[in-house]
Amino acid sequence: MSIKILLAEDHVIVREGLYSLLQKETDLEVVAEAGTGSAAVQLAHELLPDVVVMDISMPGMNGIDATRLIVEARIGVRVLALSMASDRRFVVEVLKAGADGYLSKESSFAELATAIRIVAAGETYLESRITNLVIKDFLQRIPQEVSLTYENLSLREREILQLFADGRMVKEIAHKFGVSLKTVENQRHSIMKKLKLYSIAELTKYAIKEGLTSLD
């Protein structure tokens, strides 16, 4: 089954170029295009695509606000932010709005296709330099109350936290421990609840801050 994509990009030439490239991928299908944030929100509700490739800078409603509305609607649509801007403020704001990934327009099409597949599979995708920006912001801004010890985690939860922080995927962790994907997902949710964290990116940043893993 193809991954259904909504392209939200206000520059027609860029949008048409992306459409042409994505349609050549056998497992990717562009089901609609939007030139404004408000149109993206409406189409996301109507068509329920798997992934919205969301440009941040659009006229009227910007991509950050559009992302927030789509995520808050809880309709199961995931968002991959795509932008020329790699400024930390934009990156952090769109991730806070609920985006599941961030990619700059300087990236290759191959990386975009990979990011779409990863986001559609329920994972988070951040290109390497964006990850560094997010980590720096976290280390500077993280609330004191989140800087907790992880003593209340079980040994297995600590191991899983470490693996997620090291960039392992759910399938890899499930295979390592010989359990189902659902079991790993449940354990991840349990870890996040105990640590009061709300995304894989935050788990990674927490692990780095606590010295459980490194940036290497």
Domain presence at residue 163: yes
Assigned domain for 215 exists = no
This prediction's pTM:
0.64
pLDDT (tens digit, 9 = 90+) per residue, 79-107?
A: 999 988 666 677 878 888 999 999 988 89
On whether both 11 and 32 belong to a single domain, the answer is yes
State the DSSP code for 2.
P
**Residue 216 belongs to a domain:** no
Q: How many domains does the chain have?
A: 2
Q: Which tens digits make up the pLDDT trace of 171-190?
A: 999 998 899 999 998 988 88
80 and 44 housed in the same domain: yes
160 vs 115: CA distance, rounded Å: 23
pLDDT tens digits, 151-165: 677 878 878 887 887
| Structural domain for 202, as ranges | 144-209
The angle subtended at Cα 102 by Cα 99 and Cα 104, nearest 5°, is 145
* Same domain, residue pair 37 and 81: yes
- Give the chain's radius of gyration (CA, Å): 18
Please say which residue of 88, 104, 137 terminates a domain.
137
